[in-house]
Amino acid sequence: MRLIFTHFREHGIGKTLTWFHSKEAPASVQFAKYGIAGGLATVAHQGTWLLVCFTLFPAFSAEEIQSYREILAKIHLTLPHLEVEGMALADNIRALHSTYGNIIGWFFGNGVAYAVNAAWVFQGGRHNRWLEFLYFTAISGFATLAGLMAGPYLIKTFGISTGLSQLSLLFTSILVNYVCRKFFVFSK
């Protein structure tokens, strides 16, 4: 952030925005833009996951749905009545449906991540666009698969909380994806 503010003081808002949006910005700025792209991809993935898990493949218990209602009520939003509220879904069914939601969500999140990274963050040119997209997707798929396997392992083996397991996975995934994409997929 300091680098951006220094550039702003020296060059003004117009040149700073042009510099920030250019693919020639320093690595620290590229990493910040990569974080924004990842945030947008996460919103796409999680939004799709929620939609799928509330509609196509029910994955929430009645208690979880009630918790969502209470959270939404605080910001003056309502969740419509869902047919699944009366169902007693077994944990294995909820887990399976959540996995389905994550797989469907991954496609949307990966699409958003590629589009934003290719247009805004990294300089392409090492590979043609289709090959670039395939490499990008393979790296994303590998990171997601590793996450789906690693989460339960970390919890069972080390007894860490689910939240901490997800945060450590997210942090590691961001770093691995950034390095692989920057130097393997997008670099010339």
Query: Quick one: 185 and 135 in the same domain?
Result: yes
Query: Quick one: 106 and 163 in the same domain?
Result: no
CB atoms within 10 A of CB 177: 22
pLDDT at 134: 92
Q: What is the mean pLDDT of the chain?
A: 80
Q: Flag whether pLDDT at 162 surpasses 60.
A: no
Integer Cα distance of 107 and 45 in angstroms = 8
- The closest of 147, 148, 68, 51 to 108, measured between CA atoms, is 51
pLDDT band at 181 (very low <50, low <70, confident <90, very high): confident
Q: Is residue 131 part of a domain?
A: yes
Integer Cα distance of 169 and 151 in angstroms = 7
Cβ-count burial of 178 within 10 angstroms (0-12 exposed, 13-18 middle, 19+ buried)?
A: buried
Which residues, at least 6 apart from 79, have a Cβ–Cβ distance to it below 8 Å?
65, 68, 69, 72
Last residue of a domain, which of 91, 120, 149? Answer: 120
Query: Quick one: 147 and 171 in the same domain?
Result: yes
Evaluate whether 98 touches 53 at the Cβ level (below 8 Å): yes
pLDDT at 39: 94
Last residue of a domain, which of 75, 97, 120? Answer: 120
Q: Where are the alpha helices (DSSP H) in 55-186?
A: 62-74, 91-116, 129-158, 162-180
pLDDT at 149: 72
The model carries a pTM of 0.73
Last residue of a domain, which of 97, 120, 143? Answer: 120
pLDDT band at 92 (very low <50, low <70, confident <90, very high): confident
pLDDT at 109: 93
Q: Is residue 48 part of a domain?
A: yes
Query: Quick one: 88 and 133 in the same domain?
Result: no
Per-residue pLDDT tens over the stretch 100-125:
888 898 899 999 999 998 888 776 66
> Which two tokens mark 79?
């969740």
Query: Quick one: 61 and 113 in the same domain?
Result: yes
Integer Cα distance of 20 and 10 in angstroms = 14
**Among 72-86, 98-112, 162-176, the least confident range:** 162-176
Query: Quick one: 97 and 46 in the same domain?
Result: yes
Evaluate whether 119 touches 127 at the Cβ level (below 8 Å): no
Query: Quick one: 96 and 70 in the same domain?
Result: yes
Please give the tally of structural domains in the chain. 2
Query: Quick one: 91 and 150 in the same domain?
Result: no
Query: Quick one: 114 and 146 in the same domain?
Result: no
Average pLDDT over every residue of 134-163? 75
Range of the domain at 115: 37-120
Q: Is residue 149 part of a domain?
A: yes
Per-residue pLDDT tens over the stretch 9-63:
888 888 777 877 777 777 788 878 888 999 999 899 888 988 888 888 888 777 7
Average pLDDT over every residue of 120-136? 80
> Which two tokens mark 7?
């550039």
